[in-house]
């Protein structure tokens, strides 16, 4: 640590499956990181990659720490020490980490550098979510939000809900939530409420999303935005709107607060924002849920594009990446919707059937050896 004392951190890297390709998954720095959480998230990644049909398996990593109370130097030393510990487990053909909660492109640069210096030559493909100058991909930063937008477009088309004029509430105005809100705003939807960790704002006629993103970038919060009124963050979930985007933390909709939800479409930009009890309540109400392993898979899809570009040493234009992402996300949505309609199961079950089925098929065809 900066004051000279040695602090011991607990870190994890879990590989759930590599049957369809190298393991893939983020690394998070958070006080609540535990082995059980990392195991669950690694499993989630396996199904997510299979749903969008990219040739990766699932992995996840994390360090139990509080990065908000650590200096840049402390974070770098901890990241490099963690990288050296998991170095035998990772690699562009084996397991490819990425950013997650409280990690970013700088974190990935430290991991890539530590790995490369140990091996003796530059290996940009060992991580994704890197800075552009180190082999990162255009379009990676907004990939999750774009994926959310593309799946909402598909859901609106399926349900005959015009996107232009549709009302939207966004819980969690971070990277995914703000990008999805921006794209929906550009498509003519009205984003009437957003919340972040500091508070919640509302305007029935629609918020000016570009200006709100600018203010959030400068000030770090959405509170006191002009032409908006404050409201309790819990009330956002019960707003009368067409589309609700939970883009914050897991388990935000549960047995106690799911019943008042009035949105027609619920797009899970976060991982696991609905508990099983909330799922059952919303299914009875007739809400259309776009499950997380489909809805927020844009991030891992563009991570795949970044890895391909690194391995080929050939980089693509931003519009090419957007077009490829749109094609992947909308194909995956149609695949899940087909199972949902033909088998008469909820969208979440349909997504799980598709993802688990693809992994099971790969295991069956490969066989088990030795």
At 322-340, the pLDDT tens digits run 999 999 999 999 999 999 9
Count Cβ atoms within 10 A of the Cβ of residue 116 and give its class: 0-12 exposed, 13-18 middle, 19 or more buried. Answer: middle
Catalytic residues: 60
Q: Residues 244, 248, 250, 252: is their CA dihedral positive or negative?
A: negative
CATH 3.40.50.10860 domain span(s) along the chain: 10-134
pLDDT tens, position by position, 248-262? 878 888 988 888 999
* Token couple for 200: 């919640």
Q: State residue 226's pLDDT score.
A: 85
pLDDT band at 165 (very low <50, low <70, confident <90, very high): very high
Q: State residue 220's pLDDT score.
A: 81
Residue 198 has pLDDT above 90, yes or no: no
Q: State residue 272's pLDDT score.
A: 87
Fold of 137-370: Rossmann fold (3.40.50)
Q: State residue 101's pLDDT score.
A: 85
Contact yes or no for 129/105 (Cβ under 8 A):
yes
Q: State residue 225's pLDDT score.
A: 85
CATH 3.40.50.720 domain span(s) along the chain: 137-370
Contact yes or no for 167/189 (Cβ under 8 A):
yes
Return d(Cα 33, Cα 122) in angstroms, integer.
30
Average pLDDT over residues 349-363: 97
Edge-to-edge strand list for the sheet holding 95-99: 10-17, 57-64, 23-30, 95-99
Q: State residue 115's pLDDT score.
A: 98
pLDDT tens, position by position, 92-149? 999 999 998 889 999 999 999 999 999 999 999 999 999 999 999 999 989 999 999 9
Q: Which CATH number fits domain 10-134: 3.40.50.10860, 2.160.10.10, 3.90.1150.10, 3.40.50.1820?
A: 3.40.50.10860
Q: Residues 22, 27, 33, 37: is their CA dihedral positive or negative?
A: negative
pLDDT tens, position by position, 219-245? 888 888 888 888 888 889 989 999 999
Residue 87 has pLDDT above 90, yes or no: yes
Cα-based distances in Å from 17 to 50, 85, 103: 11, 20, 23
Q: Residues 114, 117, 118, 124: is their CA dihedral positive or negative?
A: positive
Return d(Cα 83, Cα 90) in angstroms, integer.
9
């Amino acid at each position: 640590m900066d004051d000279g004392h040695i602090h011991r951190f607990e870190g994890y890297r879990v590989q759930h499956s590599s049957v369809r390709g190298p393991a893939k998954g983020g690394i998070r720095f958070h006080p609540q990181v535990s082995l059980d959480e990392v195991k669950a998230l690694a499993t989630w990644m396996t199904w997510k990659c299979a749903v969008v049909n990219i040739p990766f398996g699932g992995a996840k990593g994390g360090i139990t720490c509080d990065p908000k109370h650590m200096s840049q130097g402390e974070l770098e030393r901890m990241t490099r020490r963690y990288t050296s510990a998991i170095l035998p487990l990772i690699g562009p053909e084996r397991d490819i980490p990425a950013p997650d909660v409280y990690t970013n492109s700088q974190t990935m640069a430290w991991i890539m550098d530590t790995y490369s210096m140990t091996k003796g030559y530059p290996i940009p493909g060992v991580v994704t979510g890197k800075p552009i100058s180190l082999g990162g991909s255009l379009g990676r930063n907004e990939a999750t939000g774009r994926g959310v937008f593309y799946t909402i477009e598909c859901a609106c088309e399926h349900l005959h809900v015009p996107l232009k004029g549709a009302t939207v509430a966004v819980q969690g105005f971070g990277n995914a939530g703000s990008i999805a809100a921006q794209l929906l705003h550009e498509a003519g939807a009205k984003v009437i409420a957003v919340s972040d960790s500091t508070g919640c704002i509302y305007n029935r006629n629609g918020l000016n999303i570009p200006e709100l993103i600018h203010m959030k970038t400068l000030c770090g919060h959405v509170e006191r935005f002009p032409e908006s009124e404050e409201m309790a963050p819990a009330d956002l979930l019960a707003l009368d709107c067409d589309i609700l985007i939970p883009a914050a933390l897991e388990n935000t909709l549960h047995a106690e607060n799911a019943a008042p939800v009035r949105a027609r479409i619920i797009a899970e930009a976060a991982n696991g924002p609905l508990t099983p009890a909330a799922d059952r309540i919303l299914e009875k109400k007739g809400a259309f849920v776009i499950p997380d392993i489909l809805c927020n898979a844009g991030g891992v899809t563009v991570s795949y594009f970044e890895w391909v570009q690194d391995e080929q040493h050939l980089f693509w234009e931003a519009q090419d990446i957007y077009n490829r992402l749109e094609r992947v996300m909308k194909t995956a949505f149609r695949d899940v919707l087909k199972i949902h309609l033909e088998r008469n199961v909820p969208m979440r079950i349909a997504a799980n059937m598709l993802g688990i089925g693809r992994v099971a098929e790969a295991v069956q065809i490969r066989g088990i050896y030795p």
